[in-house]
Structure 1
Amino acid sequence: MACTVSCSRVFVVRCSASPSGGGGGGNAVRVNGAAHRAPLQVGAALETSINRSLAELSPPLLPLLPTDDAGEERSRQNIPTEKQTVDPFRQALIVEGGVRYQQTLVVRSYEVGPDKTATLETVLNLLQETALNHVWMSGLLGDGFGATHGMIRNNLIWVVSRMHVQVDQYPIWGEVLDIDTWVGSSGKNGMRRDWLIRGRNSGDVFVRATSTWVMMNKVTRRLSKMPEEVRAEIAPWFIDRHAIYQEEATDKIIKLDSNAMYVDSDLKPKRSDLDMNHHVNNVKYVRWMLETLPDHFQQQNQLSSIILEYRKECGSSDVVQSICQPDDDSIPPQEDVSMAIGPSLSPELISGHHSLAGALQHSPMKYTHLLQLKAGDKYEEIVRGRTTWKKKSYKAP
């Protein structure tokens, strides 16, 4: 006898009965094509068991408010109105006394580049997603991009003012990751958010990141002080801990001009670049910055650190210019180049390929970046950046 039970887009169980084979074995059950030995349940009994399991996993839906568009949207999103400690659908938990957020996920095929490793954009998107999910589980999320209920009442949104990301190792396709994030105070009117990304199997820390956030008035687009009701909402979640213990020099990043070595003008945002706050998402800025660097440099090196200082938001109608200048003092010495190449290539082979030798020996490993938008006859800064790179391990073809 065979049966198929489908259950609300979640999974499909196909089961088939087979003879016990003379040894008193059980029944063979196939779940998504894989054989498992289990007592056979059929018909109503199996469906009841599945529905019971789903009910245990699913938090109750918020009441549907058909006459209120905002209420209906929240019901579809299933945004909790009270603090949650477990989110089974996101593989997430609130831990450490109920303040630190931890999520487990898998690197998917569309999040990696040609070398099967996650791109920097993927890393930044994961940081953003887990930050929003943290607010989601806190029960404080309103209808904005991570805005709390108090922020909604005061017409405020979050904007990032500074971000620093250190990458020790890039995750690979199919790797399981544990991401931790938490928040802390930053001065009188700001909030700090930190992240750690670890490999689930090894426990090694792949990425460390820290950021500073301030509030902006949604209507005037001006920075705002933190209202007391908002401080009262988020202060109980603050942890005095840093993901990056010894930050790189915090000196202000210098402002470049159009005489820099690399300049890419007439960049225009697409509709898909906009976020829920109707400005270009900060992850898109990083793409514009990195695309200014030559392809051969990025093929032979990987980014190990990026610092971003945000100055102004960018809209869909703006025209952007990306400028980049290498730090000539960051050219690695000859012995560092040899160590990066490893034993796979002999010195004679390298010297025989002048383009390879030149690229490996003379590329600076630190760069200063600037994104600016054209405003009439002048340019206004969007974000300044500083990137640090390291050699990839070279493999002979």
Structure 2
Amino acid sequence: MKSRAGESAFTVRSSEIDYRGQATMPALVSYMQEAAWENTRDLGISMYDLLERGLTWVLQRMRVEMFRYPGHNDKIAVETWASGRERVFLHRDFRIYNQERELLGQATSVWLVMDVVKRQLVSVPDFILEVEVVPGSEPLPFAKGKLPQLQEAQHEQQMPVGWHDIDLNRHVTNTRYLQWALDTLPLHLLEQKQLQQVDIIFKAESILGDTVVSAAAPAGADGHTYLHRLTSQESGKELVQARTVWS
């Protein structure tokens, strides 16, 4: 079976906007993941298809670039397609359009397969490998390479993991990590600048009852780039690493 691109329609809701009336980055990432779910469902490799086999999808990395943010009640289309495969890494790309078919943003992502009982990553199973990757659009540059390490935090918050932070995989949903990373930044940055790019790597899972420590600091003197690190207070394990760029 050959893969094919999918497209999903969304309307920006009032609960998904910031004080400017624009969709938030976590909301946009949620749209992209919903579009990915619909596309994999049509290909017979959705999360539900995997769960029947004791497996699940996990997002390992996502790099998003926004050119313009949609506003409240705007209708957008999210196009997504499987863009490549490298060993256990499965790549998926996204493009976001408004009703006039103007490109608002784009993203590339990396996915892995996990055993839901052992909580361990596994080789890509044959029933997924049987879906031939035929990109519907030209692939975006893969998200590769390491991010710079945050050396000394200038901003820090503790986030207790509650019931509504947990997803179908019984661990903290990835959009919550993104939200926590952004919430840790200084108010003047959030009010005065616009998030242009985010590159986020998910390294380990956190579960109900944990406390996540979110730390951030500027990467340089210009104040346009910030580094982020989220760790488990209980184990000290690094959960997430990210870099954000503001304009």
Alignment of 1:22-101 (within 5 A): 99-101=4-6
User: Could you tell me which residue of structure 2 aligns to residue 373 of structure 1?
Assistant: 232
Q: Is residue 216 from structure 1 mapped to residue 96 from structure 2 by the alignment?
A: no
Among candidates 165, 168, 177, match of residue 276 of structure 1 = 168
The answer to whether the Cα contact below 8 Å between 1:373 and 1:381 also exists between their aligned partners in 2 is yes
User: Could you tell me which residue of structure 2 aligns to residue 287 of structure 1?
Assistant: 179
Amino acid at match of 1:192: H
**Secondary structure of 1:275's partner?**
coil
Amino acid at match of 2:148: I
**Secondary structure of 1:264's partner?**
strand
User: Could you tell me which residue of structure 2 aligns to residue 26 of structure 1?
Assistant: none
User: Could you tell me which residue of structure 2 aligns to residue 134 of structure 1?
Assistant: 39
- Between the aligned partners of 1:324 and 1:242, the Cα distance in structure 2 is 34
Please tell me the root mean square deviation across aligned C-alpha atoms, in Å: 2.1
User: Could you tell me which residue of structure 1 aligns to residue 125 of structure 2?
Assistant: 227
Per-residue CA deviations over 1:141-167 (Å, capped at 9, x if unaligned) read 4xxxx2535x632x2111111110001
- Between the aligned partners of 1:288 and 1:128, the Cα distance in structure 2 is 18
**Secondary structure of 1:193's partner?**
strand
Q: Is residue 264 from structure 1 mapped to residue 157 from structure 2 by the alignment?
A: yes
- Between the aligned partners of 2:39 and 2:104, the Cα distance in structure 1 is 20
Residues 177, 305 of structure 1: alpha-carbon distance in 2 compared, 3 angstrom cutoff: same
User: Could you tell me which residue of structure 2 aligns to residue 45 of structure 1?
Assistant: none
User: Could you tell me which residue of structure 2 aligns to residue 152 of structure 1?
Assistant: 52
Alignment of 1:180-195 (within 5 A): 180-195=79-94
Among candidates 73, 83, 96, match of residue 174 of structure 1 = 73
**Secondary structure of 1:212's partner?**
strand
User: Could you tell me which residue of structure 2 aligns to residue 253 of structure 1?
Assistant: 147
Amino acid at match of 1:123: L
Shift in Å, 1:261: 1.1
Shift in Å, 1:181: 0.5
The answer to whether the Cα contact below 8 Å between 2:81 and 2:136 also exists between their aligned partners in 1 is no
Larger helix fraction of residues:
1
Q: Is residue 109 from structure 1 mapped to residue 9 from structure 2 by the alignment?
A: no
Unaligned runs of 5+ in 2: none
Among candidates 192, 200, 209, match of residue 99 of structure 2 = 200
- Between the aligned partners of 2:234 and 2:182, the Cα distance in structure 1 is 23
Shift in Å, 1:271: 0.6
- Between the aligned partners of 2:153 and 2:82, the Cα distance in structure 1 is 37
Amino acid at match of 1:209: A
Residues 240, 252 of structure 1: alpha-carbon distance in 2 compared, 3 angstrom cutoff: farther
- Between the aligned partners of 2:138 and 2:244, the Cα distance in structure 1 is 21
Q: Is residue 327 from structure 1 mapped to residue 219 from structure 2 by the alignment?
A: yes
User: Could you tell me which residue of structure 2 aligns to residue 347 of structure 1?
Assistant: none
Shift in Å, 1:275: 0.6
- Between the aligned partners of 2:204 and 2:88, the Cα distance in structure 1 is 18
Amino acid at match of 1:263: E
User: Could you tell me which residue of structure 1 aligns to residue 135 of structure 2?
Assistant: 239
Identity among equivalent positions (%) equals 26
Residues 98, 386 of structure 1: alpha-carbon distance in 2 compared, 3 angstrom cutoff: closer
Larger strand fraction of residues:
2
Question: Could you tell which deviates more after superposition, 223-232 or 291-300?
Answer: 223-232
Across the two proteins, how many residue pairs are aligned to each other?
A: 247
Shift in Å, 1:137: 2.6
Shift in Å, 1:109: 1.9
- Between the aligned partners of 2:153 and 2:70, the Cα distance in structure 1 is 33
Per-residue CA deviations over 1:277-303 (Å, capped at 9, x if unaligned) read 111100000111011111111100010
Unaligned runs of 5+ in 1: 1-82, 84-96, 332-363, 391-397
- Between the aligned partners of 2:125 and 2:184, the Cα distance in structure 1 is 40
* Larger relative contact order, structure 1 or 2 (CA cutoff 8 Å, min sep 6): 2
**Secondary structure of 2:26's partner?**
helix
Shift in Å, 1:375: 3.0
Residues 389, 243 of structure 1: alpha-carbon distance in 2 compared, 3 angstrom cutoff: farther
- Between the aligned partners of 1:321 and 1:182, the Cα distance in structure 2 is 34
User: Could you tell me which residue of structure 1 aligns to residue 246 of structure 2?
Assistant: 389
Per-residue CA deviations over 1:200-230 (Å, capped at 9, x if unaligned) read 12x2111100100011111111111112233
TM-score, with structure 2 as normaliser: 0.92
